[in-house]
Structure 1
Amino acid sequence: MVSTVEQTGSRPAAWGAVLSMALCVAMLIASEFMPVSLLTPMAAGLGATEGQTGQAISVSGLFAVLASLLITTAAGMLNRKGVLVAMTAFMLLSLVLVAAAPSFTVLMIGRAVLGICIGGFWALATAVIMRLVPAEDVPKALALMYGGQAIAAAFAAPIGSYLGGIFGWRAVFWALTPIVAVNLVWHLIALPSLPAQQRQDVRALFGLLKRPYFRRGLIACMLSWGSAFSMFTYLRPFLEQVTGVDVATLSALLLLLGCAGFIGTWAAGRFIKGNAAPFLKLPALVMGGATVGLLLLGHSVIATGLFMAIWGAMNTMFSVIWMTWMSQNADDAPEAAGSLMVAAIQASILLGAVLGGLLLDGISIRATFVGSVVLAIAALALIRDGRQMLKGS
């Protein structure tokens, strides 16, 4: 068992705090994406269409973009421990609002509150990890924190769908509230005091954007994420229309994709060390390649499962690779860099989903996957060997 604090050099490594943040990540991912598996009963329960309910669910992404850009400035000189605790409290409030929502409007308010939590937490997360462990342990700590993403990705949707069918969709959200409450208390106990190191303002954001290497990296990151989510958002219609799976096979394939994330989490902690440049092209290369494989062999369930497992493993490495790059190349302004990275990722997820939807409605599901591949190729063309994304280039 890892002790909460172990001395490494002159800086204590607060692994208990890292684990607390990993649980928070798992709850964030579950809270954000659980409604996808409960869309139909939620719409029926609130007297809304599935399209309206889907829009209410996605409103969290819009507020996450805004919060990620504003939170480090709005927090001023507040202790970052208190800010993280407040973000977790927002998640708890969001779950209560959604679970008890008497109307469509209250559902949207609950999702907006969750968006604030998502944007605020992720904007600060990497900067906080950099203060919890020694520099050489940052990739390992990031992999551990993103292990919560793998757990949620693997189990949130199937468990939510199963429990929702038995107890109703509201019970699923109520079931998450005690876990988040425990996580909030764990934050209070495990997180050390994290005084603000300097006052953040919009000048820090613009200062980073003036750096050519960081600007190139940010664009490459957006292209990579846009590629991934223009495909992932519309994976179900592809599996239904091209692979021809039934509901049971669909659930099994999605579970396989999620469980493969554990391999990616292990690999990230094991292999991502030192200079991050050689790893930057891997997400676009591997996930784009898996998408090509689905386009060519998607009619085969076995081949589809293989490519989905490859995609799922790289999905959990994705965040670790790019946040490691950020921690190494914007270490003088980690909170401002975190704000920009989270805003870029959330915006690219939203735009990728819009692009994929336009291609799906206008042409076909295969066109959506081709669009994903095109974005991946653009990312690879910009990244090349990654050296132009490094500080000092």
Structure 2
Amino acid sequence: MDSEKPRQKMTIKSWLALFILAISTFTIVTTELAPVGLLTPIAEGLHSSESAIGMTVSLYAWVGALSALFASVFLGNVAKKRLLLVLTVVLMMSNVLAATVDTYNVLLSARILGALAHGAFWAMIGVTAVAIVPARYIGTATSIVFGGVSAASVFGVPISNYIGIHFGWRQAFWLMATLSVVAFVGITVLVPQITSKSAIGLDALKSVLKSSTLWKIYSATLLAVTAHFAAFTYIEPWLHTQSLLTAAFIPAVLFVYGIAGLAGNFLTGVLIDKYLKMTVALSVLLICAVLITLGLSGSSLSAAYILSAMVIWGVAVSGIFVGFQTWVLRMAEDKTFPASALYVSFFNIAIGIGASVGAWMVSSFSVPLLYIVAGTAIGLSVLLVAIVPASLTAKHSHVEKSYEPN
């Protein structure tokens, strides 16, 4: 298409646009997870229980899943850049409200407001990344943009926790509000106007649901992400079972895992455009091996052994997160928005199911058994990965899009 010619080469502005979108994903994911590191101070500040504050995270995930579907049906005809800016403002308002609340009910309202923006934003941001780069850079663009998710996992929650302890929990939400402003300015200046031909509405959503290929990717995502979060939610209790690992060393192990996740994002970005299917399959098998090994190895593993396992797990999980997202965008043809929205919904549902299943297994059985079951489940997802084509035919391998000048 003639309209694509100006974008056949990556410009400095294109790379900067991807970077600002990564800051946006960092902000929305840190906003989602911030209460995890602030349960006690928020509970004390609002005279509520820690479990009640924890529910604001669960509710956020479920509302976010519904928000993504709602956006794909009703907001697809809104200009992408304009919608991103509006959603960023809503996210900022959510964080400002959370920073100034005096009651639990108002905090819950602030979280619901943020979740409404979260789901729609996440569904939109992958489509936006695809639209501002040439087709051969889709995987790289996705890995950069969703690198913000890994960064939030590594730095977002610990930073929120540190701010909450030393400056007060409200300041953590003020930080998120400030980052929302930074994202707003960056999107305004760097992200081009995009007019996408992605199909919208209920008919488009139904069409996506009729795609056997996308259903296989969604099913693999649901299985793999559920298994991962079931295991990862209880990584700290598992580490405490290790007799040779001191409690003081556990934060270092988790930090190493997070840094490995960031490295995995970089590695995935290098490989995924040429080797998408192999990258996802290898990532799944590596996590399968790690979880089953950890579940079977007993309670006397050395620190070096545990660190090695965490590095492999951290690197490989990036291949899953970025890989499935890229695969959906690659196979969706002219339905990138509803296809991406469904992916976001399945991802958030998997987080909720994973945490719930993990809680049940730990209370009824044990953490090691949970790891064995989770490893087996994530390994089974490779069967679905094996039967999904790596890409569409050359005739249909690009997403139609056009551009307007800023």
Q: TM-score of the superposition, structure 1-length normalised?
A: 0.91
Change (3 A) 1:196 1:388: closer
Q: How does 1:1-393 map to 2 (within 5 A)?
A: 8-9=7-8, 14-197=14-197, 200-242=200-242, 245=245, 247-274=247-274, 276-297=276-297, 299-300=300-301, 301-383=303-385, 385-387=386-388, 391=392
Cα deviation, 1:46-96, whole Å, max 9, x if unaligned, reads 212221111122211011110111102221421111111111112211211
1:303 deviates by 1.7
Aligned to 1:3: none
Do 2:22 and 2:145's aligned partners in 1 also have CA atoms closer than 8 Å?
yes
Shift in Å at residue 274 of structure 1?
3.0
Q: Alpha carbon RMSD of aligned pairs, Å?
A: 2.2
AA aligned opposite 2:146 = Y
* Cα distance per residue 1:289-323 (max 9 Å; x no partner): 22123223453233222211211112223222112
Matches of 1:86 and 1:243, distance apart in 2: 51
Deviations 1:13-49 (A, max 9, x none): 7222211101101111211222212212222222122
> For the structure 1 residues 302 and 101, does the alpha-carbon distance in structure 2 shift closer, same or farther, using more than 3 Å as the test?
farther
Q: TM-score, normalising length from structure 2?
A: 0.89
Identity level (%): 25
Displacement of 1:285 = 1.3
Measured at CA, do residues 182 and 390 of structure 1 come closer, stay the same or move farther in structure 2, by a change above 3 Å? closer
Is the 8 Å Cα contact of residues 68 and 339 (structure 1) preserved in structure 2?
yes
User: C-alpha distance in 2, partners of 1:7/1:240?
Assistant: 55
Q: What per-residue deviation string (whole Å, max 9, x for no partner) do you get for residues 166-192 of structure 1?
A: 112122221232222121111111111
SS of residue matched to 1:332: coil
SS at match of 2:195: coil
Which residue identity does 2:300 align to in structure 1?
A: H
Question: Structure 1 residues 104, 390: closer, same or farther in 2, change over 3 A?
Answer: same
Deviates more, 1:204-213 or 1:55-64: 204-213
User: Take 1:295 and 1:275, find their aligned partners in 2: how far apart are those partners?
Assistant: 30
Indicate how the Cα distance of structure 1 residues 354 and 71 shifts in structure 2: closer, same or farther if over 3 A, else same: same
In the alignment, the residues of structure 1 paired with residue 254 and residue 36 of structure 2 have an alpha-carbon distance, to the nearest angstrom, of: 13
d(CA) in 1 for partners of 2:49 and 2:246? 24
For 2:66 and 2:47, the matched residues in 1 are separated by 29
The Cα shift of 1:330 comes to 1.0
Deviation at 1:334, TM superposition (A): 0.5
Deviates most, 313-322 or 336-345:
313-322
Deviating more after overlay: 298-307 vs 253-262: 298-307
* Residue deviations 1:264-301 (CA, integer Å, cap 9, x gap): 01101211123622233233212222212322345323
| Number of equivalenced pairs | 386
How far the C-alpha of 1:219 sits from its partner, in A, is 0.5
Specify every segment of 5 or more residues in structure 1 that has no aligned partner in the other structure, as ranges: 1-5
Structure 1 pair 9/156, CA: closer, same or farther in 2 (3 Å)?
Answer: closer
Using the alignment, how far apart are the partners of 1:371 and 1:296 within structure 2? Answer: 11
